[in-house]
Structures are given as C-alpha cells and as structure tokens.
Structure 1
Amino acid sequence: MSVKRKDLIKYLEGNGFYLLREGGNHSIYTNDNITIPVKRHNLFDRITANQICKQAGLDKKF
C-alpha cells in the first residue's frame, strides 16, 4: 500500500510540525524539538511513512 506525500505532511502538520525549509530533494519539517527530513517523492511505501512518524515521535498512522 502506498501513502501519498500530502497525507503524510498533513499528519505531521496536524501534530505540530511545520515546514522549516525546502531543499533540493528534501523538505525539512520541525516542531522546534525534532527535525525530520521528508523526501520529495509523490508516494511512500507504508513502512517508510511509519518510520518517518516514528522519527517524529508520533504513533504509526499508515
């Protein structure tokens, strides 16, 4: 199952993260304590999306 990037971003932003800056291949999101790089792909596999959530200290959603 694939996860759309916009759904992952919406979940991060809904939990207090915001866009810090855009890089060439990554967007950097932070909540002032944790900084998460998110690749600029349109789709992620479910495992990768959940690993990003885990790095952010959030519950698995996908």
Structure 2
Amino acid sequence: MGTLTLALIERIREVGILRCLGAGARQIRRVFSTEAVVIGDGGVGPGLTSRISPLPGACSVRRR
C-alpha cells in the first residue's frame, strides 16, 4: 500500500467528522491532494540533492 492510502485509511474518522461538518467530497479531496504535494516535495528535495551531489565514494567499488 502507498503512503497516501495508509494516511486515508488511518484518518477515516477525520473524514467522517469533516463530512458531518459540511465538507464536500471536493474539499476532502483537496486536503489529501495538498498532503500528497507536501509529502512529494519532502521526498523530491532530498532525492535531487543526493543525486546531484553524491557523497564521496558512495558509488565506488571497494577493492582490496
């Protein structure tokens, strides 16, 4: 399962409360879409940084 699927399953009560308070499906979808963007950006930044400037020796083969 993906991270966002688990986030939705764990927050079913929260979704129910939002629905009871009058939030529509579009508003709830926007909440989860915003969360997806934040999670994605949180992974892209370190991923690009590590790809652009790898640690010295991270890709070298160790020889004896």
TM-score by length of 1: 0.29
Q: Which has the larger radius of gyration?
A: 2
Question: Which protein has the bigger strand share?
Answer: 1
Question: Which protein has the bigger helix share?
Answer: 2
